[in-house]
Structure 1
Amino acid sequence: MIGFRKHRGLKRYYKNLAIQNDFEKFNWRDCYKQSGYWHLHFDWYGYGNNSFQRRKPHLDKLFKHFDILVEETKSLGIEFQLYIMLLDFHSANDSLYLHPPVPNNKRFPFKISDLKSTTTLKNKAINNYIDNLVGYEKMYGSGGDEAFCLLFKKNVGVPF
């Protein structure tokens, strides 16, 4: 078949996804200083685009890393924003952001206009996942051609 490629090693991929800490692979403290919008993606290949069963492990890892950063940022000593952006259907674009003030960049704190507290997502599986999260503030919007959800915790960094 033309265009069909079997993905080998997915069992090992998902096992490693559940146990690895990506912050041990690089010094994230150096990365966020270089760019005002440092972020990290967890589903680079878009495995979760067509299946929530494949997307959920990536989301679990994203939220695990968010909690790690909540603890790590307590010692930063600067203002910052820490948030998660989930897109309706594009799992590869789900990301975790650490946004500090950067010289020559006046977009701090980062703000998005027209955010709502009611969902704009059409994907029922991702909506249910978000609804079951505890302790997160949830803001919804749409940009371009896809709806998104912005999640953050109160009393962690500068709020939206």
Structure 2
Amino acid sequence: MKGIKKHRGLKRYYKKLATENDLNKATWLDFDNPENWFDNWHLHFDNKGYGNDSFKRRKPHLDKLFRHFDLLVDKTKRLKTEFQLYSIILDFDSYSDALFLHTPNPNNTQFPFKILDLQSTTTLKNKELNEYINNLDGYEKLYGKADEAFCLIFKKNVGQPF
């Protein structure tokens, strides 16, 4: 029978999502070295796009993203340079949701990074995602539309604002 592909080990996969710290894997991440810089360095948390199937599958990836956001807030206190820490969440593309760290850098990438035409009212059509984002405490939210509606999320008093 052709068609649906069975994904094995999903229970273990989702259990790991809840506990794994991806920052520990990046041994080169050194927040104490004043020579280090980040050119919109980012992490994706749903590399297989499982969250595109349903919000039930997307939520654990978002939970992990925001857990890592808080971990990075703590680590960026050691940075000796200006920075931006933010997340971009797309309306329906879970695979592209990402957490970003950006500093002045030798690549001449614009710092502070700016996205034009952001607004404070939601552009999202995904009701479950919109509700999830509305329930995030301590985060600032700005919305935009490119190929797909998105939400840019950051924390007040953590790095450069948008």
TM-score range, shorter chain: over 0.9
Q: Does 1:159 align with 2:156?
A: no
Do the aligned residues in 1 keep the contact of 2:37 with 2:103 (CA within 8 Å)?
Answer: no
Give the Cα separation in 1 of the matches to 2:120 and 2:60.
26
Give the 5 Å matches for 1:8-47: 8-27=8-27, 29=29, 33=36, 35-47=38-50
Distance 1:106 1:9, change over 3 A: closer
SS at match of 1:62: helix
Q: C-alpha deviations, 1:19-38, integer Å up to 9, x for none?
A: 1111111225269x465110
SS at match of 1:159: coil
Task: Report the CA distance between 1:77 and its aligned residue.
Answer: 1.0
Q: Which residue of 2 aligns with 1:107?
A: 110
Give the Cα separation in 2 of the matches to 1:13 and 1:140.
31
Alignment RMSD: 1.5
Q: Which residue of 1 aligns with 2:78?
A: 75
SS at match of 1:112: coil
SS at match of 2:141: strand
Give the Cα separation in 2 of the matches to 1:102 and 1:66.
21
Q: Which residue of 2 aligns with 1:141?
A: 144
Identity %, equivalent residues: 66
Task: Report the CA distance between 1:2 and its aligned residue.
Answer: 2.3
Higher percent of residues as helix: 1
Unaligned runs of 5+ in 2: none
Task: Report the CA distance between 1:14 and its aligned residue.
Answer: 0.3
Give the Cα separation in 2 of the matches to 1:34 and 1:22.
19
Q: C-alpha deviations, 1:78-118, integer Å up to 9, x for none?
A: 11100010000000000000011101414000001100000
Q: Does 1:57 align with 2:64?
A: no
Give the Cα separation in 1 of the matches to 2:110 and 2:51.
31
Q: C-alpha deviations, 1:103-148, integer Å up to 9, x for none?
A: 141400000110000000000000000000111100000112x000
Give the Cα separation in 1 of the matches to 2:158 and 2:28.
18
Extract structure 1 runs of 4+ deviating beyond 6 A.
none
Give the Cα separation in 1 of the matches to 2:145 and 2:48.
23
SS at match of 2:65: helix
